[in-house]
Amino acid sequence: MIELSEAEIEAIHHEMSLYEDPGAATIEALKVVQEHRGWVSDEAMAAAAKVVGVTPTQMEAVATFYNLIFRQPVGRHVIMLCDSISCYLTGYEEVRDHLKSSLGIDFGQTTEDGRFTLLPICCLGDCDKGPSMRVGETYHSHLTPERVDEILAEYE
């Protein structure tokens, strides 16, 4: 059984204080843990569940519902490539194929060097600039295979 860091616990307690039922912070607790650890391991989830006062199963029910909670280790940079309609119309498929082949991974996988995890994501709200993706928290728009190569090179 691992313990969460003080910073994590404090952040979770803060979120708990914002709702009339502290259990409502279940989702935030997962996000806090993920922010600090990159992903949510079984042990970290159990520890977070204890802080919030819910059972691990309850937390798992929530964690596995939402796609932005990672229950498996991810690379240093998570690439989320928009696969929704506007990006689809503006060249998503080409960008997708290029990303997959240049990284040598499929959706849901992480490069062997642990640098990138590639995930599909639905509409990023960047539709006027598609194709679009996020790497970490940064949006990259108007993607082309060439742009993708330049962008990936920026990440360690």
- In which residue are the tokens 């639905």 written? 122
Q: Considering only residues 126-145, where is the footprint of other proteins by CB under 8 A?
A: 126-130, 134, 137
The span from the CA of 27 to the CA of 15, in Å, is 10
Residue closer to ligand FES by CB (options 46, 127) is 127
Residue 127 binding ligand FES, by CB under 6 A:
yes
Ligand-binding annotation for 122, yes or no, is: no
Query: Residue 25: which of other proteins, ligand FES, none does it interact with, CB under 5 to 8 A by kind?
Result: other proteins
From the list 1-9, 48-56, 94-102, 107-115, the region that binds other proteins by CB under 8 A is 48-56
> Residues 26, 110, 117, 132: which binds ligand FES (CB under 6 A)?
132
Please work out the total of residues on this chain that contact ligand FES, with binding judged by CB under 6 A. 12
User: What's the min distance (Å) between Cβ of 112 and other proteins?
Assistant: 26
Torsion over CA of 67, 29, 71 and 130, rounded to 10 degrees?
30
User: What's the min distance (Å) between Cβ of 143 and other proteins?
Assistant: 14
48 Cβ contact list (under 8 Å, min separation 6): 4, 8, 12, 29, 30, 32, 33, 40, 59
Q: Long-range contacts of range 149-155, CB-CB < 8 Å, 24 or more positions apart?
A: 149/102, 152/102, 152/103, 152/116, 155/76, 155/77, 155/115, 155/116
Residue 18 binding other proteins, by CB under 8 A:
yes
Residue 85 binding ligand FES, by CB under 6 A:
yes
* First-last CA distance in the chain: 32
From the list 1-9, 51-59, 101-109, 144-152, the region that binds other proteins by CB under 8 A is 51-59
